[in-house]
Amino acid sequence: MPQFDPATFAPQIFWLVVTFIALYGVIAKFAIPRIGEILEQRARLVQDDLDRAAALKADTDAAIATYEKAMTSARNQARDVLLAATTELKKVADDKTAVVNAEVGKQIADAEARIEKAKADAMGSIKSIAADTAREAVARISGLTLDAGKIDAAVGAALKDAR
């Protein structure tokens, strides 16, 4: 094999060096810059994606904060509305209770007045009946006719003592 002949080593080494330098020059001039551009492009793409993700995360955090603020506001408004409704219903109930109590008080006063009138009428009737009964009893027992004024006074005194 001619490659292993020591007499041809010098030209082989020369051409090896020339070929290596030419290949290195071609690779350094064309391939390495192209690979560098591709790596830089990928790095920019990855960085752009990371920046976009950070921006979306910031937007999401802002949206969550806005949502939580809106929910807190809605809860507070609901509590205020509920409190106002409860207060209004309590006022209405108190007003109706006052009206009913006034009406019941009036009915009780009317009933007491009717009872007092009936009691007075009954007492007047009792006095009249008692006086008539006493007059007839005295007339039958003793055969005497007494003065109606004296009998009424005696019956009135007896009824006062009985009360």
Mean pLDDT of the chain: 90
Per-residue model confidence (pLDDT) at position 134:
80
pLDDT band at 162 (very low <50, low <70, confident <90, very high): low
The model's pTM: 0.44
pLDDT band at 87 (very low <50, low <70, confident <90, very high): very high
Q: What is the mean pLDDT of residues 96-125?
A: 91
Tell me whether residue 97 is in a domain.
Answer: no
Per-residue model confidence (pLDDT) at position 23:
97
pLDDT band at 153 (very low <50, low <70, confident <90, very high): confident
Paired tokens of 157: 């005194």
Q: Provide the percentage of residues in the chain whose pLDDT is more than 90.
A: 65
Tell me whether residue 14 is in a domain.
Answer: yes
Number of domains composing the chain: 1
Angle between helices 148-162 and 32-142 (to 10 degrees): 140
Higher pLDDT, 141 or 159: 141
Report residue 160: phi and psi, to 5°: -65, -40
Tell me whether residue 12 is in a domain.
Answer: yes
Tell me whether residue 51 is in a domain.
Answer: no
Tell me whether residue 69 is in a domain.
Answer: no
Tell me whether residue 134 is in a domain.
Answer: no
Tell me whether residue 1 is in a domain.
Answer: no
Tell me whether residue 136 is in a domain.
Answer: no
pLDDT band at 4 (very low <50, low <70, confident <90, very high): confident
Q: Provide the percentage of residues in the chain whose pLDDT is more than 70.
A: 98
**Domain span at 32:** 8-39
Per-residue model confidence (pLDDT) at position 45:
97
